[in-house]
Amino acid sequence: MAGRRDPIDVRVEIDDEVWTEEVGRLRERSPVRAQAEKARREIETHPTTVPWQPCEKDGPQGTQLADCVKLYVPIGQEGASAAPYGFVFALRKVEGVLVLRMLAFGERHPTNPRTHPVYSRAHRRLHGRYP
């Protein structure tokens, strides 16, 4: 379980389009979709205290996620088996206010070779193609 931290002064935005593309693609009433929806409620209720972690500027799979942070899901869990999913958000400035905008949701370590990890999905949305 992640330790308690000081609140981070930031807002969160989840575009409907991104949500549909990242979570709407998942089967309705599937466990993973339910996890994403539950996590979204937590993020929007407690954006300053959920356990954000910086992403790697240059990740191990060729991802480039500078200025991005992630959240493991279920929120509050950390190990890949306890928290198999993740969100990635990018820090942006909107009307002078710092905002975390959702980039991607997905598996951290997918076993299906056709499934891209959440980090690769975030890279694709940022850079236009998979790493």
Partner 1 sequence: MATAVKSLHVGELVDVDGRRYEVVPDAEGDLTLEPTITPMAELDRRRGAKPASQEDFDRLFGHLPTDGEG
Instruction: Provide DSSP, 81-125.
Output: TT--EEEEEEEEEETTEEEEEEEEEEESS-SSTTSPPHHHHHHHH
Q: What is the DSSP letter of 7?
A: -
CB of 18 to partner 1, least distance (A): 7
> Rounded distance, CA 49 to CA 42, Å?
10
For residues 37 and 67, which CB has a smaller minimum distance to partner 1 in the complex? 67
CB of 128 to partner 1, least distance (A): 6
CB of 76 to partner 1, least distance (A): 15
Mapped onto helix, strand or coil, the DSSP state of residue 11 is strand
> Rounded distance, CA 57 to CA 106, Å?
19
Q: Which residues here bind partner 1, judged by CB under 8 A?
A: 5, 8-10, 13, 15, 17-18, 21, 25, 52-56, 59-61, 63, 65, 67, 69-70, 90-95, 98-99, 101, 103, 108, 110, 113-119, 121, 124-126, 128-130
For residues 35 and 72, which CB has a smaller minimum distance to partner 1 in the complex? 72
For residues 39 and 55, which CB has a smaller minimum distance to partner 1 in the complex? 55
